[in-house]
Amino acid sequence: MRRIQICVLSFLLFSSAFLGAQQDRLQLFSSQLDSIADGSLKQTLQNSIVAGLIENQHDFDLAVSQAEAAANRNNPVHYSAYGRRDTGAVVDEIRKLTEPLSGLDRDAVKVAKNPKYKTGEDYLFADIKASLPGSYEKGVELCNLFNPKNGTNDAARLDKDIDAFLDAIKDDPVIKYALSSTSTSMQDLKKNWFGSGRGFEHVVAGEIDGKKVSGYHWWYKFYFDERAGKAQVRKASADIGNPHAFTGSFNWDPDGDGPLPNALKPTGGFSIGNSAQVILALGHIAIEVARKNGGVPGALRFRADINGEEYNWQLYTMNGNIRSLYPMGSSRTQSIDEEYYECEKEFMSSDSSEETLH
């Protein structure tokens, strides 16, 4: 009998300690949970915290971002875990604030597509005869310092290189406008693009996930890699007669004859002729406008013009930072979901380091 009593007492003590630990975990996230307006999601988050699946702020933010992205798969501007927001006002403000960007992009260049590019018979772009602004070389140099494998976070290792690049573009008109129009600083822009979402690495430099290209949405990076024999267009699927954009499939081999695979982008694309700075400015304005109007959603779609033509742009975020940003191709034969370039799959499957920039 005494043994039974001891066992029961031990079980009760263990259960009490376990329940206490559960409450302690929930208490750590009380303010974050209070901000979640969706009751079902809040309960799911509570269960995950109790089970030990969410252990820190990074885990919490990632879970919320993934839930928002999944809920917004068919209508990316309507759902926020933090409650109802006037999404129409958000996208209208983004559109209004980004109107000057195209005219302010002093480093924009004129470049033409080759006539036979659409079937992969020639380079996508004709040779650029004019001298390019120095920002293009600096942008590519920074891109090439990143590990192209998806899931790596090189921000800490490349912090000095990132700062040098940002210092070189800080006086660019589009950057100055992006900061002044949102009342933010270069440090805010750095966090938005080089934080745990790894937006610059994904959008501007490009990544590979196995044998597939992930991100890679700066036209000049393709031009540069194409001339180096590392990128080749396969087929155009939309924007065929549009000089301002490319939509289609292509290959990218980041290290040429090295051990990395010659990866495929089944459907992807980019705006043409614009500087990398204007992409950074666009993403910064969009995420800061959303932040000011109720918080950063996991996904947001808006219209903007950065190179003389207005597109629908798709933004994905992670931990309140930019993960992906790209223009959606125009086509009469593809549905909107097909034009998403499988980016939602990329977003949902991407792992993220706990390293962040402050």
Q: How far is the C-alpha of 149 from the C-alpha of 343, rounded, in Å?
A: 16
30 band by pLDDT with thresholds 50, 70 and 90:
confident
129 band by pLDDT with thresholds 50, 70 and 90:
very high
pLDDT at 336: 37
For the chain, what are the domain ranges? Answer: 1-82, 87-351
Ordered strands of the 207-209 beta sheet: 207-209, 212-214, 263-271, 245-252, 231-238
Percent of residues, the chain, with pLDDT higher than 70: 79
pLDDT at 212: 95
Q: What is the identity of the amino acid at 255?
A: D
pLDDT at 353: 38
- Which DSSP letter does residue 128 get? P
Structure tokens at 123: 């380079």
159 band by pLDDT with thresholds 50, 70 and 90:
very high
pLDDT at 238: 82
If we measure between CA atoms, which residue out of 126, 142, 320 comes closest to residue 218?
142
Segment among 19-23, 68-72, 93-97, 192-196 with least mean pLDDT: 19-23
The mean pLDDT of 277-301, rounded to a whole number, is 93
pLDDT at 308: 94
Q: Is residue 272 predicted with pLDDT exceeding 50?
A: yes
Q: What is the identity of the amino acid at 155?
A: A
CA distances from 92 to 70, 97, 158 (A): 24, 9, 36
The model carries a pTM of: 0.77
299 band by pLDDT with thresholds 50, 70 and 90:
confident
Give the pLDDT confidence of 63-106 residue by residue, as tens digits: 877 777 666 554 544 566 766 556 788 999 999 999 999 999 99
3-state class (DSSP) for residue 33: helix
Give the pLDDT confidence of 321-347 residue by residue, as tens digits: 999 999 986 654 444 344 444 444 454
3-state class (DSSP) for residue 207: strand
Are 352 and 318 within 8 A, CB to CB? yes
CA distances from 10 to 6, 16, 19, 22, 100 (A): 6, 10, 14, 18, 70
